[in-house]
Structure 1
Amino acid sequence: MRSSLSITTPATSLALLTIEELRSAAGVTGAGQDTALTSLGLQVAASIMTECGIAIGSGGEPTLWQETLTETFRKVRCDELVLSRRHNIEIVSVTADAVLMDAAEYEADPESGVFTKLCGDLPVRWCATKVAVVYKAGFGEVPGDLKQAAMDFVRLAWLESKRDPALKSEVVDVPDVLKTEKTWWVGSVPGQSSEGAVPDVVSGQLARYRNIAIA
């Protein structure tokens, strides 16, 4: 079953790190590199959202920051609904076939986003032509492990911006003034098992935030 997702109240920022944290991760002092670091921070955040499969909604970019969302399910015939965004779920309102449901008629798991219909406090099957859920999801503050993953990513990306990561070795022979030999990695760079933008050492820290597609 498919759903449509729209962002009612978008996050004010997509960055996972403050400028002070970006400077610390890159080992930079002063404001001279702030423009480059801010741009890199946004690229890192976007890559992490892609790696984690954060759902895209109309009206904004994917983020793990808290947003208010409206998700509409059609032709609903199932035991449970799964909200596209998760973490700290807070249901604002639910309408089933144009009828506003009472808060006692449903519950949502705040971490997984599993959304259950209730009758007499017992789970029952969803059966409706259209269910519209308005809810909040995401974090008011960046969790420590997510912040650390972003800082590690920035650190690696900043270092790689100063060198070519595909360079395997470089030999400089000076005697007759200069001779340089370079060899290059073919295929994936060692230490990176995939071609994705997120380094393996960072990807491994994102288990909690990774969404698994359900067919």
Structure 2
Amino acid sequence: MTHDMSTTFLWFADVAALINVTPGLDTLLVLRTSVAHGRTGGRAAALGILAGCLAWGVATAVGLTALLTASRVAFDVLRIGGAGYLVWLGCSALWQARRRPAGDATGAGTAVAAAPAPAPAAAPAPAAVPASTGQARRAAFRAGVGTNLLNPKAGIFYLSLIPQFVPHGAPVFRTTLLLTAVDVLELALWYWIVTTTAAALGERVRRPSFRRRMEQVGGVAFLGFAANLLLAERA
């Protein structure tokens, strides 16, 4: 049984890795947030997504995700709610891009240029930064949780994939949680790579026009995912 479990975990890790690195809604959210708010913002969004994955894993272990395939009403409620949330994210991104002028003073390049200001004027700044940073992290975390938990495809992914890797005779609840942990650890590593790369890109490309373009691309992509979710059918 131990050999079977080891083989099962290796196979699952390979399959899950291929699925996790495939570009999708969650990766887009982490990428966009990392460019806009740096590594801390991107990793807060990633933590929200990982929390959602853990919740789906527990729901699969206790059999709750089976409701998504057994109940049309449950699937439709989650599908429509998720699509509505994605529309809100998409419209918010497009609105942010529209209201940010070409010479936006919030761009990183402008911030660097303002750094040589007299020392006394810079003293109050540290008190204001943590609050806004904390708010941005909390908003990013909530967005990560929302996009994951309101996506019925995420639940169906866990329901359809994980049970296939539970060996015959193995404890279903414990094995499902262990497989979920493998998936979450792989996702954490992937999002660490994404946030590090995207944040570095955002720091290098300091032009406000680049950030505005990223908001536009992200907004359109969110709306596209919303349309896809509205057209989705149960597996």
Same fold, TM-score > 0.5, yes or no: no
TM-score (norm 2): 0.25
Q: Which has the higher contact order (CA 8 A, sep 6+)?
A: 2
Which has the higher Rg, Structure 1 or Structure 2? 1
Greater strand fraction, Structure 1 or Structure 2: 1
Greater helix fraction, Structure 1 or Structure 2: 2
